[in-house]
Structure 1
Amino acid sequence: MQASLVSLLPLVLTFLLALTLRRTLLALGAGVLCGSLLLADWQPLAGVAYLWHILSQQFYAAGAWQQWHLNVLAAMVLLGMMTQLLARGGAVEALGQWLYLRVRREPQARIGIVLLGWLVFIDGIFSCLAVGHVCQPLVDRYGISRRQLAYLVDSTASPLCALLPFSTWGPYVMALLAGIGFLPVSPLSAFLQMAQVNFYAVLTLGIAAWAAWSGMGFPKPISKPKAMPGWEKCRLRAESQSDAAAKANPWLLGVPILTLLGGAMVLTLCSGARQVAGWDLSLWLAKADIGAAMRDASLLACLLTLVMLKGTGRSVSLLWRDLALGFRLILYAIAILLFTWMIGAVIRDLGVASLLAGWAQLYLSSQLLLAGMFLLCALMAFATGSSWGTFAIMIPIGSEIAAAVAPEMLLPALSAVMAGSVFGDHCSPISDTSVLSATSSGCEPHEHVVSQLPFALIAAVAALLGYQLLNVGMGAAWVWLSCASMVVLSLALAKRYYGPWRRLDHSLIFSSK
């Protein structure tokens, strides 16, 4: 279909419904329906046929099963069931007792979420699934907002993967870079140089760590019980010290988590090693089947959880009940993810991404090359909900544009492509990572997107400044100093003029003093 302004109608409808009705599934469904009718020339029967076509293609297309989608869905179901097993079987309570004897402050619990997110660097979707599901019961233990958990999960997933060549993102991006005939260095060297000036990813990780330490921007959950007086807390702690120590067993939760993380890493490397003759780690990752590794590691961890809980005396009937509950609770997230994939297919068939890329070639100035690339890719990723899709389109196009107008800015321009894509995907209500971060953390996707938007905008504005300074020839060290200073100043102003952040009508807003 020839792209035109009418092609933007499904996206506009989706965004308006998501922001006004705050019902992500309804908004996505309306966008998919509108796009299908548009592609079918407003013929209802043809639109229904198209809907069935794109739905079936999520599972079976071109004569082959879509293993990535099937494996992601299987991993979601298994992780959802494992979460309920751990929560209802006493594993989380046991870890809570263990942490209660050692963690003295709430910021330590929040920082622990960030550190776990950094450890799960192998894949963005896997990080969102694993960290969100595992930490969801723990944040309730320490009175941390579910929206803050979703923000920390989302802000330590894709931004970190965009910086590491040995994540699943690395081989994908390097494969795109290898297709650029005039690339002055190897794809791996180009990726590393691009990561050095990926301002948005680095600043987002830094802001997330600071927000975890300070707790800024996320009020306490309404249901959190009032704190008991200090003397009473000390008395009860002294009386129950021996009992708490006896019940504290971090391994009941720790072993399944370590199995999940370690198994995913080992299975990923093994699947790649079977396809490569040598000992090149980057080639292993490039050939690895991350979807199957996610699925198998989740299955292994879930089975181990069942065995360990059965060993504690939990009955088989209760274990089956926990599994069924976990399956029912994860169905909503699966439905949203399916609609997210379907609207991505609609957007692709409408040619929205190509339309945006064509506008860039016509109107992008050489004096604003890097900033323009960042904004364009942010808009495209926000509209499509896919950073990888934006990479696939804009890395080849961006390299051609940069080579034509400013060849010396080729690698910074490609870095701006990656940074803008991550920013747009990070803020998009139809992004799979945004949806999975929210649902795996136990909050609504709309609430997650709105609550993390101020932090994301601060990082994005600083990154935009950084790319413009690079464009005018400022040294990288001074650019980083300028970006960091702008982030610090923005956070200080937000805290001064818009703090404390208050809850009104169960939503997060900035309210002045």
Structure 2
Amino acid sequence: MWTLASMEPVDAGFLSVLPPLVALVLAFITKEVITSILSGVFVGTIIYTVMKRLPIYNAISIVISLLVEKMSEEMEMVIFITLLGGLIIIMKNSGGARAYGIWAIQRVKTRIGTEFSAMFMSFIFFVDDYFNCLTTSTVLKPLARSNAVSMEKLAFIIHAIANNICLLVPFSSWAAAIASNIKDAGISGGLSVFIRCIPYNFYPVLIIFFVFLLIVFNVDYGSMRHYEELCKLRNGNRIHRIDSIITPRSEDEKEGSVWDLIVPILLLIGFTFLFMLCTGGYFTNPKLSILEAFMEGDAVLSLSMATLSTLLCCVLLLVPRKQMTFNGFVESVKEGAQYMAPTIIILAVAWTMSGVTNELLGTGEYLGMLITKFKIPVALLPTVFFLLVAVTAFALGNAWCCFGIFIPIASKICMITAPNSLIPTLAAVMGGAVFGDQASLLSETTILLVSTMECTTQSHFKTQLPYLLTVFVVSLVSYVVCGFTQNNLLASWVVGLAMMLIGMVAMYFVYPHLKTSQKDMYYDNEDETKKGLRDDQAIDDDFLKSLMYNDSLI
């Protein structure tokens, strides 16, 4: 049985970058992430066995041994993700999300109100991006149809908030994964490091600020403008308002309450904070302050205990009120575990890749040597990693894989060349990963979102890409400023926010003078367009009615 402790690392030189490079190229070609990363892992173990002069068949046993060892080390993380999946499905099946959707539809009557509702609801579901995309898109889709907001615009808003809010809240599944990767990189206090990275997370904050400005100024450009104009044209031909068809599913069936959604989220936050204090020693060491104990807490263990405690409270909240039967509750938890299975598999292969590149082949040390050899300015480290990770995440379509691969590499390089740049560089890794994940056609959140939004992957990709690139460039400038001002946060934020605000104000004044075609992009002439609008109206009405009476859609 091979273990990392029994395997001495080798100095693979330029070959040490081959495994992630193989994974990157295969992801581009095959558009399949798990197999691509596993292929890179096998390439890495083959390099290791050849350089150690071991029989080549040992590469297979090393892969299996590494996978088992990494899964054993990260079992707390696996348990947390499994429990979180159960909680997500519980909140979905209890009717709380549907209740919030109906509440919003009855009260929100404008486009700007719809867009802000999407933004606000995405903030509420910060615990996980999958849950955020699935629930928010399903709940708010009828509201968007009612108020002439295109599916592409709604998808962009949800996607922009769902992915990025997870990097700004220490109570999310992303925070736990990143804290775990930071710990694996040999840095103590994973969650405290994550929290220290938040002020340097320019891209997540700027994309949220960009969405806010986009809604306030009511301007769109690129393909999004065309889809928005088309949606307004379609909406003008509709007869029925969605609020006229909102009725309970049946007289003897109770509707879920908005509190069935809010209470579990509040419980999760409260329990997480409590258990962070417990694991940080606050109740056993009176000399520790609350902040010190929170920083020293075990993030993954605390989140696991908090999620389990929230699930137990949900039993008491839902079963006595007959919102769910006990058997239904158990089945929902099982469904949630299955729902999170792809995430666990991706994490497992990413952890294995991290073990191969950083603990067997010395990829981090090699890249650190290159940076020193070619005299890449230390000030450019965050910028370089932001670009590198963004390209990799775009190719792989998964931010979590990039966390597992690049956080250990960035940590080792910074500790060798520039310890003071560690926090900004780790933040740049996070920002680049979330950009690539959001922009990629291969991203699971992209696929999940478009499947519930009834828009195509291509339309979502081409409408959101100009917006994402705008924020990407501004974030890149902020990292350059940050590096050359010795991590001056004030200067970095002033430059980034000023660029964003000036650009949006300029767009606001230019917007009325931009020409747009009223021709439907799906039809070739005016008669076909009118027929398409009539068909769209019939489809919309049938869909809205089915949404109100069909549980499977909610």
What TM-score does the superposition give when structure 2 sets the normalisation length?
0.65
Alignment check: 8 A CA contact 1:380 1:421 kept? yes
Structure 2 letter corresponding to 1:50:
I
Matching of residue 389 in structure 1 with residue 401 in structure 2? no
Alpha-carbon spacing, 1:131–1:16, altered in 2? closer, same or farther (3 Å): same
Alpha-carbon spacing, 1:88–1:159, altered in 2? closer, same or farther (3 Å): closer
Matching of residue 264 in structure 1 with residue 281 in structure 2? no
**Structure 2 residue aligned with 1:356:** 367
Query: Structure 1 residue 279: deviation in Å?
Result: 3.9
**Aligned with residue 203 of structure 1, among 197, 201, 206:** 206
Question: 1:2 aligns to what SS in structure 2?
Answer: coil
**Aligned with residue 420 of structure 1, among 428, 443, 455:** 428
Matching of residue 138 in structure 1 with residue 139 in structure 2? yes
Question: 1:232 aligns to what SS in structure 2?
Answer: coil
Structure 1: how far apart are the matches of 2:302 and 2:130? 14
Structure 1 letter corresponding to 2:430:
V
Query: Structure 1 residue 233: deviation in Å?
Result: 2.2
Query: Structure 1 residue 398: deviation in Å?
Result: 4.0
- C-alpha distance after superposition, 1:352-392 (max 9, x if no partner): 222222111122355xx423542146536876712642453
**Structure 2 residue aligned with 1:341:** 351
Structure 2: how far apart are the matches of 1:499 and 1:453? 19
Structure 2 letter corresponding to 1:363:
F
**Structure 2 residue aligned with 1:484:** 497
Alpha-carbon spacing, 1:146–1:280, altered in 2? closer, same or farther (3 Å): same
1:83-232 to 2 correspondence within 5 Å?
Answer: 83-104=88-109, 105-116=113-124, 128=129, 131=132, 135=136, 137-139=138-140, 142=143, 149-158=158-167, 199-200=202-203, 202-210=205-213, 232=240
**Aligned with residue 462 of structure 1, among 465, 474, 483:** 474
Structure 2 letter corresponding to 1:37:
I
- C-alpha distance after superposition, 1:18-54 (max 9, x if no partner): 2333222222222222222222229552111111221
**Structure 2 residue aligned with 1:379:** 388
Matching of residue 304 in structure 1 with residue 313 in structure 2? yes
Alignment check: 8 A CA contact 1:96 1:138 kept? yes
State the Cα RMSD in Å: 5.0
Alpha-carbon spacing, 1:429–1:31, altered in 2? closer, same or farther (3 Å): farther
Alignment check: 8 A CA contact 2:85 2:336 kept? yes
Larger Rg: 2
Structure 2: how far apart are the matches of 1:26 and 1:18? 8
What TM-score does the superposition give when structure 1 sets the normalisation length?
0.69
Structure 1 letter corresponding to 2:48:
L
Structure 2: how far apart are the matches of 1:37 and 1:177? 26
Query: Structure 1 residue 147: deviation in Å?
Result: 6.8
Question: 1:158 aligns to what SS in structure 2?
Answer: coil
**Aligned with residue 295 of structure 1, among 304, 319, 323:** 304
Structure 1 letter corresponding to 2:60:
V
Structure 2: how far apart are the matches of 1:470 and 1:47? 43
Query: Structure 1 residue 136: deviation in Å?
Result: 6.2
Alpha-carbon spacing, 1:498–1:129, altered in 2? closer, same or farther (3 Å): farther
**Structure 1 residue aligned with 2:292:** 283
Question: 1:364 aligns to what SS in structure 2?
Answer: coil
Structure 2 letter corresponding to 1:76:
I
Alpha-carbon spacing, 1:133–1:9, altered in 2? closer, same or farther (3 Å): same
Query: Structure 1 residue 265: deviation in Å?
Result: 1.8
Structure 2: how far apart are the matches of 1:71 and 1:84? 20
Structure 2: how far apart are the matches of 1:205 and 1:301? 29
Structure 1: how far apart are the matches of 2:284 and 2:431? 34
**Aligned with residue 55 of structure 1, among 57, 64, 67:** 67
**Structure 1 residue aligned with 2:418:** 399
Structure 1: how far apart are the matches of 2:507 and 2:485? 29
Question: 1:58 aligns to what SS in structure 2?
Answer: helix
Query: Structure 1 residue 83: deviation in Å?
Result: 2.5
Structure 2 letter corresponding to 1:46:
N
- C-alpha distance after superposition, 1:54-99 (max 9, x if no partner): 1121233xxxxx3xx2222222222222222332332322222223
- C-alpha distance after superposition, 1:440-494 (max 9, x if no partner): 97979x9999997755543443244345456777997666444334445777789
Task: Choose 80-89 or 254-263, whichever is displaced more.
Answer: 80-89
Structure 2: how far apart are the matches of 1:263 and 1:503? 50
Alignment check: 8 A CA contact 1:139 1:149 kept? no
Query: Structure 1 residue 107: deviation in Å?
Result: 0.9
**Structure 2 residue aligned with 1:36:** 45
**Structure 1 residue aligned with 2:5:** none
Matching of residue 7 in structure 1 with residue 16 in structure 2? yes
Alpha-carbon spacing, 1:258–1:140, altered in 2? closer, same or farther (3 Å): farther
Question: 1:101 aligns to what SS in structure 2?
Answer: helix
**Runs of 5+ consecutive residues of structure 1 not aligned to the other structure:** 61-65, 121-125, 180-187, 221-225, 401-409, 505-513
**Runs of 5+ consecutive residues of structure 2 not aligned to the other structure:** 1-9, 145-150, 229-233, 393-400, 523-554
**Structure 2 residue aligned with 1:182:** none
Structure 1: how far apart are the matches of 2:198 and 2:329? 45
Question: 1:385 aligns to what SS in structure 2?
Answer: helix
**Structure 2 residue aligned with 1:223:** none
Query: Structure 1 residue 418: deviation in Å?
Result: 3.7
Task: Choose 227-236 or 421-430, whichever is displaced more.
Answer: 227-236
Alignment check: 8 A CA contact 2:157 2:211 kept? no
Structure 2 letter corresponding to 1:153:
A
Query: Structure 1 residue 289: deviation in Å?
Result: 1.6
Matching of residue 323 in structure 1 with residue 328 in structure 2? no
Alignment check: 8 A CA contact 1:429 1:449 kept? no
Query: Structure 1 residue 294: deviation in Å?
Result: 0.9
Structure 2: how far apart are the matches of 1:449 and 1:200? 18
Structure 2 letter corresponding to 1:335:
I
Alignment check: 8 A CA contact 1:398 1:414 kept? no
Query: Structure 1 residue 251: deviation in Å?
Result: 0.9
Query: Structure 1 residue 128: deviation in Å?
Result: 4.4
Structure 1: how far apart are the matches of 2:328 and 2:40? 41
Task: Choose 297-306 or 226-235, whichever is displaced more.
Answer: 226-235
Structure 2: how far apart are the matches of 1:453 and 1:382? 14
Structure 1 letter corresponding to 2:210:
I
Structure 2: how far apart are the matches of 1:499 and 1:390? 47
**Structure 1 residue aligned with 2:530:** none
Structure 1: how far apart are the matches of 2:308 and 2:389? 36
Task: Choose 138-147 or 299-308, whichever is displaced more.
Answer: 138-147
Alpha-carbon spacing, 1:268–1:342, altered in 2? closer, same or farther (3 Å): same
Alignment check: 8 A CA contact 2:385 2:432 kept? no
Structure 1: how far apart are the matches of 2:219 and 2:86? 30
Alignment check: 8 A CA contact 1:81 1:323 kept? yes
